[in-house]
Amino acid sequence: MHDMMIPFGPAHPALPEPVYLKLFLDGEEVEDVDFSVGYNHKGIEKALEEMDYFKNVFLSGRICGICSSAHSTCYTLGVEKLLNIEIPDKAKFIRIIVSELERLQSHLLWLGLLGHEMGFDTLFMLAFREREYVLESLELMTGKRVVHDINTIGGVRRDLSHETMIKLVKNLEILEGKIEYFRKLVRKDFLIKKRTLRIGKLDKKDVEELCLVGPVARASGVLYDIRRTDKYLKYDDLNFKIVTQRKGDAFARTLVRVREMIESMRLVRLAIAFIEPGPTRVKPILFFPEKEVISRVEAPRGELIYYIRSNGTDKPARVKIRTPTYANLLSLKKILVGYTLADVPVAVASLDPCLCCTDRVTIVKNGKEKIIKWEDLHDHEHH
């Protein structure tokens, strides 16, 4: 029997996104945990079936605000596979630069939130201040700070000018010093160590069994990175390290993400060096045969996988998305049970949950047995 059930969320000051955890406690200790998601449903999988392939590039980029280009890259890679087209090298490198900058800003955002979770708000301020350099670079490249919309079927929508490259490199130079500071801070700071060491432990077996992905898997010593396994875009031409740790606690996950930021910056620099003048897109022949494809990318939070099926029309028949946080949710029980209630926010934050991605499938009007069509969703906006 449990002493008490404490609800955590769906709206909780420690987590800006809606997830509902039921924590069953014995005194201070968490004995069992149950979770429910679905507070953030946007009906995107259904909406993707209602629009044509080109419009879907923009919709897929709006599944999530933090990993926007990961989603649209995965979608466009899938459609390019469907159409059997090869995009120009320059477009591949531009996609890499945007993806890596996105990883950088996502990890910085996460570092800030982790600081906030453990009551270290100075770290939050610092991380968000440095994140501005990344957002500024992204704005220079794509015209947008958060949702980048750089991808299109057959390449990228914007060329990278020489002046932009110089500015990017300048911003990276500033950032390198700042991230190095974060790396030292995370290693040495008493508070961070006290709150994250030996919290939320996941061993290698759990990771393999529960199919966990991304930095969470790598912090437990599982070398699983789609950039390395699938070698999509031009990742096999660029020399980078896959960061792993063995301990599998919240501290290891912090170290993995901080060191990944350094690798991301290196990847951006390398990609800039590799860019050669040339076209940025090819014009695809829009004929969609009946086919099904799988496309995978490494989003900031791990493996993102799209299943796209075409039926000969200009709209996809089915798009199934499995996002990284969705896969990592299963580890909640492992990282919370046996620890105290006060460790819950830090342990949950160490997963870097992104519920915008997770809750996306289909929404149905409560009880009315009516599927919301794209037009209805559109109407909803105006009410």
Q: Considering the rule CB under 8 A, would residue 141 count as an interface residue with another protein?
A: no
* 24 CB-near residues (< 8 Å, 6+ apart): 2, 4, 5, 30, 31, 32, 33, 34
Nearest of 34, 32, 24 to residue 4 by alpha carbon: 24
DSSP 12: B
Q: Which of 229, 274, 282, 341 binds another protein (CB under 8 A)?
A: 229
| Cross-strand pairs, 15 | 12
End-to-end CA distance of the chain: 47
3 state DSSP class of 293 = strand
The crossing angle, in degrees rounded to 10, of helices 53-61 and 68-83 is 160
Return the amino acid letter for 272: I
Nearest of 356, 351, 357, 354 to residue 306 by alpha carbon: 357
Q: Which of 104, 186, 329, 336 binds another protein (CB under 8 A)?
A: 329
Stretch that binds another protein, among 122-130, 148-156, 327-335, 343-351 (CB under 8 A): 327-335
Q: Considering the rule CB under 8 A, would residue 363 count as an interface residue with another protein?
A: yes
Residue placing its CB nearer to another protein in the complex, 92 or 334: 334
Residue placing its CB nearer to another protein in the complex, 100 or 359: 359
* C-alpha torsion angle, residues 18, 20, 25, 27 (rounded to 10): 30
26 to 55, contacts with another protein by CB under 8 A?
A: 37-38, 41, 45-46
- The answer to whether residues 249 and 196 touch, using CB atoms and an 8 Å cutoff, is yes
Residue placing its CB nearer to another protein in the complex, 45 or 203: 45
- The answer to whether residues 331 and 216 touch, using CB atoms and an 8 Å cutoff, is yes
The CB-of-132 to another protein minimum distance in angstroms stands at 35
CA atoms of 209 and 206, how far apart (whole Å): 5
Show the binding pattern over residues 201-220: x = contacts another protein (CB under 8 A), - = does not. Answer: -------xxxx---------
Q: Which of 25, 330, 341, 377 binds another protein (CB under 8 A)?
A: 330
Residue placing its CB nearer to another protein in the complex, 70 or 104: 70
242 to 301, contacts with another protein by CB under 8 A?
A: 292, 294, 296
Q: Considering the rule CB under 8 A, would residue 315 count as an interface residue with another protein?
A: no
Q: Which of 309, 315, 337, 374 binds another protein (CB under 8 A)?
A: 309
Residue placing its CB nearer to another protein in the complex, 167 or 333: 333
Q: Which of 236, 313, 371, 376 binds another protein (CB under 8 A)?
A: 371
H helices then E strands: how many in the chain?
16, 10
Return the amino acid letter for 344: V
Q: Considering the rule CB under 8 A, would residue 362 count as an interface residue with another protein?
A: yes
Q: Considering the rule CB under 8 A, would residue 322 count as an interface residue with another protein?
A: yes
CA atoms of 179 and 214, how far apart (whole Å): 20
- List of residues contacting another protein (CB under 8 A): 37-38, 41, 45-46, 208-211, 224, 229-231, 292, 294, 296, 303, 305, 307, 309, 317-318, 320, 322, 326-327, 329-330, 359, 361-364, 366-371
